[in-house]
Structure 1
Amino acid sequence: MLSQTVHYSVASVVSAAVGLLSAVVFTRLLSPDEYGVYVVGLSTAGIVSALLFTWVRVSALRFQSEGGTVDVRKTIFLAYLISALAAPFALLVATLTTSVSFERNIAAVFFALGLGLFELGQELLKARLQSLAFMSASIIRACLAFVLCLIAALLGGGGLLQLAMAGLTYFVTTALFASTILRSPVAGPKLSDLRTFAGFGIPITLSGIVFAIHAALDRMLVFHFMGDHAAGQYGASADLVRQIILIPAVSIASATIPLAVRAYANGGADEARPHLEFSLEILLAAVLPAVVGVVLTSSYIAGVILGAEFRETAAQIMPILAFAWLFQSFSQSYIHASFHLAKTPFMMTTQSIAMLTANLLVMPLLLARFGLVGAAVSLVIVEGFGAAFGWYLTRKAFPLPFNAFQAVRIVAATAIMALVLTFLKPLLPIGILSFGILAATGCLVYVVAAFAFDIAGLRKAVIVQGARRNLWPASQAGHECPLPASSLTAPVTGLPSISVREP
């Protein structure tokens, strides 16, 4: 679990770093109107990708994760090709149902096709526990996207060319890793598996479409009511917060769900629950301090990272959006594991429909009354409702464990960090150096507190590793080891005893 999480975390950290660099560069090279074209295009592409490829993606993760002799890779790519044939229909629907131009919708559908292919390969790598390859592909794609989009911006291509270049990187990266994804031996495609995928994945596709519409609705409504300029300002702020909070959560979920499925397949609920409990502890330990850090330092983040035309809006709505991503990370990275394990995709659909309904009721009212601040507040309300409703549904699917003592320790460590930052902020003016001091201080204080409270077994793990290093020279010299060997190889208390090897 920890080894897998490290690889996924590195991929997320590097991708987030490139994302932050992109925000620094492109909010200065692009106007809010041009950035709005890119943001609206991404929203459209997300809906199209969910419509075409959700059933294939979730089937890849669910069935390939069973391990053993299971190999559905060629069947999965056959399913992708079948779905891709519906792309012209998706383009027609997007053109008829939105006020976006035909050219912008073409770029969005192209992006969706590349995104679907790349995500499919990544799901297969996750399912086969090839986390190192997953990490490499994520990093290469992020770096390639930055370079190509930078060239597009310098050539004056605007948001439309940005969208096309970003879509191209998905195809290129997938081609580079095709031999790794399809590492021999590979079983041939099976039509019977396609029927299984459809039976499992199509109900989730409805959920995926609804979630995609929900995820894009705030940006699309901002575009509809206020235009590209406001959509660009809102999208830049939302993307920045998402990179800081949601990407680490997704990296943890990338390790959680495949290993949970494998643990459940091997040992049932008794083996899956300890793994899930530890996964939740890691999730909260990573996300909660990030949320509080964004809330306390949003003006510094906006002043350092975003261009001048984006900063005022970001400083207003980033502290609000941080809580929306907290609830969303809890839903996607933990609650959804219950629906995967219980094979109850209709419950995920039920959750997504409830959230979209709430979004349609709340978002237009608050957006029309309070502008971009209203859009951010409505997103928090809807995501909080969705997390609570999803947790209720897990009681009927696979009941998820929740260790209150672990949560209290994480809250306490985060509160200590928040207290230090609150006293430090008035002493520091907005600037790069001040932001660096705040970020470094917050991280240091939180790590020390996490060590003191032994969050995720951190203190025990450090002590055990130190004991191993201290005893290694003695054992090499032929001296008797002062501790029994079993005490050095036994798992740390609180860690799930799941042993996995990367194929």
Structure 2
Amino acid sequence: MLLFLAARVLSAVGNLVALAIFSRMAGPVTYGEYLLIFAWTSIVYGFSTQWMRFAFFGVYRREAAGDYIASFGVLLSIALVGVAGVLSGLWVVGIAGPEFLVAVFILLVSMAGYEALLEISRTRLKAGTVAVLMLLRAGLVIAFGAAALTMTGSAVSLAFAVALAHAGAAIPGIMAIRDVRLVPSRHAMRSLVVYGWPLLISFGVMAVGQSVDRLLLAHFGGPGALGPYGVVADFLRQAFMVVGESIAMALVTVAKQHANSGERDDADRVLRHAFNACMATATFGAVFFLVFGDVVVRLLVGEAFYEPTRTQIPLFAIAFGFMTMRNFYFAQVIYFSSASHLELVVSLIFVATSALLATLLVPWEGAMGAAIALMSAHILACVIFVILGRRYYRMPVDKTGLVVISLLALATLVADIAIEQFITAPMAALAAKALVFAALGGVAILRFDLLHLSRPRKGRA
């Protein structure tokens, strides 16, 4: 777990550096145009290939590794050919221009290939390969993206540069499967499709839900309004995902192996530890941005991006706290039961909520309305997954962890309010807040043994 976490942290730092560099080099309008390309790429990815990653993890068997890896590759290729046909049709009928569609497709192909190879290495517990893939991608994105903006300064060139970075970063993943005899099988392909078809629709729907706020904001406010909103939202989301993905990549993977072997008690022990880790990430992550968000965002992206989004930072913090609990804990129930259709149900609820609220609020409230829609959809989706998921597999909830971690996070917020009232010197107040946050966060880490994620102690988990 520590290798996963270290690589993910360094990769996330690279992503944040890239975000800071690209936003400052491109400016709100150009970066907003790039975010629009990326939003449509995410939607196409959700409706075409994203489900395969999760299906592979769900049905993979070590004794038939070559069958499943090869079948994964065949399905991925078929899907990408189909996407190429659909995008070509959109070009022919004039719905979108060729430059935009080519940028979307190239970005899709590179991202899908990279994510597939990352998932294969993750599922096979190749921690070293996963670390190299993540770090190489982060480094190449910075290098190629900065070069593209320096030479042309256009959103399309930035998209091509990011695509090239993903392609380059995928090479170690290809090398890692050279020792596997790759032979697709009908059984493996059928297993992937049967397990994953509900995810195909649900991930596409979820991608629409996660992008509808941006699409409507770009429609009503233009790329200049989307740029700051997207930059700040992406920054906060990335910060939450860095730890959440590490928890899922290690703890949930180990729990799934126990479950596959019929070791339910061991699986639940690891899952309780994962719950506490996700709970700490969600609550203290939200508190961090509620307390320090203004300072951090201003330093990272500058006034041009900070000022338009100042009032939205608390909403993003709450939204992505709930996203962490949903995506990286409660939604993992699909890997422990025959409940992959739950992802579709919750995704439909998410997109309906997000689309309805964004449609009502964005024309009048602009970016603030988009943020409210996003937050509301994430809260509802998390709650629905908690309720429905327990009908299929009771994902353990450590009640002690739930109460204690929540109280520690709340105490941090109360201390922040008190410091604001009694310490008037800005730097002294900031130092006091940081000290309180570190102290109470440290209590949570020590109390629930959160630094031993790879092998949670039986007495603590």
Q: Say if 2:131 is the partner of 1:138.
A: no
Cα contact 2:270–2:456 (8 A) shared by 1: no
- Find the partner of 2:295 among 300, 303, 315: 300
Relative distance call for 1:22 and 1:83 in structure 2 (3 A) is same
Tell me, yes or no, if structure 1 residue 362 matches structure 2 residue 352: no
- 2:87 paired residue among 88, 91, 116: 91
The match for 1:445 among 415, 421, 439 is 439
- For the residues of structure 2 that align with 1:84 and 1:314, how far apart are their CA atoms? 36
Aligned to 1:466: none
- Alpha-carbon shift at residue 226 of structure 1 (Å): 1.2
* Paired AA for residue 60 in structure 1: F
2:121 paired with 1:155: no
1:202 aligns with 2:168: no
Is the contact made by 2:276 and 2:402 (CA closer than 8 Å) also made in structure 1?
A: yes
343-352 vs 50-59, greater mean Cα deviation: 50-59
1:351 aligns with 346
Q: How does 1:91-490 map to 2 (within 5 A)?
A: 91-92=87-88, 101-180=97-176, 182-424=177-419, 427=424, 429=426, 437=431, 441=435, 444-450=438-444, 454-456=447-449
Query: Would you say the 8 A contact 2:32–2:224 is kept in 1?
Result: yes
In 1, distance between residues paired with 2:30 and 2:346? 34
Contact 1:59 1:201 in 2 (8 A): yes
State whether residues 263 and 272 of structure 1, in contact with CA within 8 Å, keep that contact through their aligned partners in structure 2: yes
Q: Is the 8 A contact 1:282 1:456 kept in 2?
A: no
SS in 1 for 2:392: coil
Q: In the alignment, which residue of structure 1 is the partner of 2:29?
A: 33
- How many residues end up aligned between the 2 structures? 457
Letter in structure 1 aligned against 2:253: P
* 1-structure distance, mates of 2:81, 2:95: 24
* Pairing partner for 1:57 from 53, 69, 80: 53
Is 1:13–2:9 an aligned residue pair?
yes
1:32–1:309 Cα contact (<8 Å) kept? yes
CA distance in 1, matches of 2:92, 2:29: 23
C-alpha distance in 2, partners of 1:97/1:420? Answer: 59
Q: CA RMSD in A?
A: 2.6
Which blocks of at least 5 consecutive residues in structure 2 are unaligned? none
Equivalent pair of 1:48/1:90 in contact (CA under 8 Å): no
Structure 1: segments with no counterpart, 5+ residues: 463-488, 496-503
Q: Provide, for residues 277-309 of structure 1, a one-character-per-residue CA deviation record: whole Å limited to 9, x for no partner.
A: 111111112231111110112221222111331
User: In the alignment, residue 403 of structure 2 is paired with which amino acid?
Assistant: V
Aligned to 1:493: 459
Deviations 1:415-457 (A, max 9, x none): 3433444455664548xx997x5785355323432256x1236
- The answer to whether the aligner puts 1:46 opposite 2:39 as a matched pair is no
Structure 2: distance between partners of 1:415 and 1:381: 21
- In the superposition, relative to structure 1, how do residues 394 and 99 fare at CA in structure 2: closer, same or farther (>3 Å)? same
Paired amino acid for 1:151: A
Distance 1:19 1:185, change over 3 A: closer
Identity %: 19
**8 Å Cα contact 1:7-1:131 kept in structure 2:** yes
- Is the partner of 2:367 in helix, strand or coil? helix
1:241-283 residue CA offsets vs partner (Å, 9 max, x unmatched): 1122223212211223322221111125333222211111111
> 1:175 and 1:219 mapped to 2: Cα distance?
32
Residue 78 of structure 1 is aligned with which of 74, 78, 81?
74
8 Å CA contact 1:115, 1:167 repeated in 2: yes
- Sort the Cα spacing of 1:414 and 1:29 in 2 relative to 1 into closer, same or farther, 3 A: same
- In the alignment, the residues of structure 2 paired with residue 137 and residue 410 of structure 1 have an alpha-carbon distance, to the nearest angstrom, of 33
Q: Report the residue type matching 1:444 in the other structure.
A: A
**Which moves more between the two structures, 47-56 or 229-238?**
47-56
Deviation track 1:10-41 (CA, whole Å, cap 9, x = no partner) reads 22211221222223222221121101111111
Q: TM-score, length-normalised on structure 2?
A: 0.92
- Contact 1:63/1:70, CA 8 A, preserved across alignment: no
